[in-house]
C-alpha cells in the first residue's frame, strides 16, 4: 500500500514559523493521540501522516481526500 509523501502532507496541513507541521481540521481527529509538534520534534505529526496506517485511515474515514492522493 502507498503512503503520503512530504509534498502530499503539505497539501493537507500547514507549518508555522518554527516549521512545525499541523494537520487541517478535517483530518485532525486522527492526530489526537500523536505527540504535539515542538521545536525539538517539529515533524511528530507529519511523520505519523506518512505512515500506511494513516493512509488506511484516510481511505476508511475520508475517502474524498484519499482519492486525491490515489490511495484508494
Domain membership flag for residue 1: no
Domain membership flag for residue 56: yes
pLDDT at site 1:
78
Q: Cβ of 43: how many Cβ atoms within 10 Å?
A: 16
Q: What mean pLDDT do residues 53-71 have? A: 96
Domain membership flag for residue 36: yes
Answer yes or no: is pLDDT of 72 > 90. Answer: no
pLDDT in tens, 21-37: 999 999 999 999 999 99
Whole domain around residue 46: which residue ranges?
6-68
Q: What is the pTM of this model?
A: 0.91
Could you tell me which residues come within 8 angstroms of residue 5 by beta carbon, excluding any fewer than 6 positions away?
50
Nearest in space to 38 (alpha carbons), one of 21, 52, 50: 21
Answer yes or no: is pLDDT of 49 > 80. Answer: yes
Q: What domain count does the chain have?
A: 1
Amino acid at each position: 500500500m502507498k503512503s503520503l509523501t512530504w509534498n502530499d502532507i503539505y497539501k493537507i496541513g500547514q507549518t508555522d514559523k518554527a516549521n512545525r507541521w499541523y494537520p487541517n481540521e478535517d483530518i485532525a481527529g486522527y492526530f489526537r493521540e500523536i505527540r504535539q509538534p515542538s521545536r525539538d520534534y517539529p515533524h511528530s505529526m507529519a511523520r505519523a501522516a506518512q505512515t500506511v496506517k494513516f493512509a488506511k485511515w484516510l481511505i476508511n474515514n475520508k475517502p474524498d481526500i484519499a482519492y486525491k492522493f490515489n490511495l484508494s
